[in-house]
Amino acid sequence: MKKLMLSFLGIALFFGILDQKVQAQSSSVSARVFAEVIEGITATETSQLNFGRFAPLEQGGQVHITAQGRRYASGNLALSGGTFNPASFRVTGEDGASFSIRLPSAPSVLRNLANDKTMMVSEWESEPPAGDGAGILLGGALAVSVGATLTVGNMNDNPVGIYAGTYSIVFAYN
């Protein structure tokens, strides 16, 4: 029994010594952690998307405004004078930060203010092109232009009048 007790005591001392050696070999350190709050990204509409004046003929057609400001028609309609332009946005935020542009995924509806007839806006495009990392805020700002295609019916479907609607674009830091 004494032998067993001595063996047990020896084993306990051995593990106690090992535990002390492990503890003596450990180290504790205080580390630093950082975070930086930056200016939020904002966008301001500086110019509205405007397809200008046109006249639908027998079958209607489409009016296209590119992000670079070029306007042209397809189908059966005649372009007229008046103001037309792509939308423009001033995007601001942290200098040097990259951001993404998300254009509408669905068409936008324009309604005639007098009679509730509608036209559809689709085929959205932007400059710089939409997607992740689309733009860099050099100096904390960047201008973004947006164009699209307006589908117009004949004169019965889309009588004379002013048509208006809204759409949403998302600008976000990457």
Q: Output the domain CATH number for residue 63.
A: 2.60.40
Distance CA 153, CA 55 (A): 10
Structural domain includes residue 111:
yes
Reported as a single tens digit per residue, the pLDDT across 67-82 is 999 999 999 999 998 8
Lowest model confidence (mean pLDDT) among 23-32, 49-58, 123-132: 23-32
Structural domain includes residue 29:
no
Structural domain includes residue 16:
no
pLDDT in the model for residue 62: 98
Structural domain includes residue 120:
yes
Average pLDDT of every residue of the chain: 90
Structural domain includes residue 13:
no
pLDDT in the model for residue 19: 54
Q: Structurally, how many domains does the chain consist of?
A: 1
Banded pLDDT at 6 (limits 50, 70, 90): very low
% of the chain with per-residue pLDDT over 90? 80
What is the extent of the structural domain holding 144? 42-173
Distance CA 91, CA 45 (A): 9
Distance CA 117, CA 22 (A): 82
CA quadruple 55, 60, 61, 66: dihedral, nearest 10 = 30
pLDDT in the model for residue 7: 56
Cα angle 68-73-79, degrees, rounded to a multiple of 5: 100
Please choose, from the candidates 109, 116, 146, the residue with its C-alpha nearest in 3D space to the C-alpha of residue 128.
146
Pairing state of beta strands 163-164 and 108-112? antiparallel
